[in-house]
Amino acid sequence: MIGVGLIGSGFISDTYADALQDVRNAVLVANYSRDLARAEALGRKWAPDAKQYDDMAALCADPAVDLVVVALPNEAHLDAVRVAAAAGKGVVCTKPLARTGAEAEEILRVVREAGVWHGYAESSVFSPNIAKAHQMVAAGAIGDVLTMRAREAHSGPHAPHFWDAETAGGGALLDMGCHTVESARHFFGKDNAIVEVFAWGATLAHADKTTGEDTAIALLKFAGGQLATVESSWIEKGGMQLRHEIVGSAGRLVTDTASTPVWGFIENSAGYLVEKADADTGWVYPVPEEARAYGFSQEMRHFVDCFAAGRTPLETFEDGCVVNRVIDACYASMRSGTWEKVQVRP
């Protein structure tokens, strides 16, 4: 049984705690928040026997903790990984790994020098629909993958720290494009590098909330000549939109997480329906078992199984580094108005 220590108490921490309920060989033994009352509330909800901390180092020093899961705002990832690595604990970090490529490289350096196991919590590649599509692509169902279009959109982040672009490191592209950049690498092959990008971004609807872009489009050119188009938006109301269109030489595949088996028109609220629904009456499209539909349960099972066996997981901090470098190049392209090379570093 792997003892998990969860660092954070916000929306994504709650989602990870939910996901861990599906992992048969892991137990949430400790959780942290700088506000101890919030840590205690999360513990009561998901792990009544867990110990609560308001000190990250104390949680990481707990002998019951084997694997640390970092679920903090972007600007706190480096410090949290340093603390976990110094304690010799395996560490999973939520997306994006960092605010910039340089910061991601420092996070990677920390775990490499400490010699600790690491996993990058990019949930989209673990979601059931993406996993099935990837299985079909790997079996040759659509021939050679030629292009991909991916879109993730909603009406804006839950937490205020995401709106602070200077502190968070960017806007919608960093927040959501990190998912679709990695899913593009997943389908085109990680040995087929993204070499050049062109991107546009603007603040169209939320200038009162953020100086970062609330909508963005990026073109990703691969070394093999293929092209991915990724769209990221904080301006679309009505719940989460997550769609992939993969075109191959022998067919095409479409995944759409927004399509659900439950939908209808309601005049009275039924409470929480789906992440970022924006309305709880009228036409509604609730997503059953969100932690599973979006791949959080599957990624946590994968990470725990790999950690327990001493195996390298599907997503590591190396992957997080690549994603940050690609997004750095996208931001450079937004400023220059031209195609920008992706910087490749060891």
Q: pLDDT tens-digit profile of 219-245? A: 999 999 999 999 999 999 888 889 999
pLDDT at 239: 81
Give me the residue label for tokens 């706190």.
76
Is 71:13 a contact under the CB 8 Å cutoff? yes
Please, what is the average pLDDT of the chain?
95
* Domains by residue range for the chain, with CATH: 2-124+297-313 (3.40.50.720), 126-289+324-341 (3.30.360.10)
Predicted TM-score (pTM) of this structure: 0.95
Helices (H), the chain: 11-20, 36-46, 56-61, 77-86, 101-114, 128-138, 165-168, 172, 178-188, 290-293, 296-309, 317-336
Q: Which residues in the chain come in under a pLDDT of 70?
A: 345-346
Name the token pair of 20: 């861990």
Quick: pLDDT tens for 294-305: 999 999 999 999
Largest separation between any pair of C-alpha atoms in the chain: 57
Note the pLDDT tens digit of each residue in 69-106: 999 999 999 999 999 999 999 999 999 999 999 999 99
| SS3 of residue 196 by DSSP | strand
Q: What is the pLDDT of residue 346?
A: 53
How many residues would you count in the chain? 346
213, 171 in Cβ contact below 8 A?
A: yes
Q: How far apart are CA 167 and CA 145, in angstroms?
A: 37
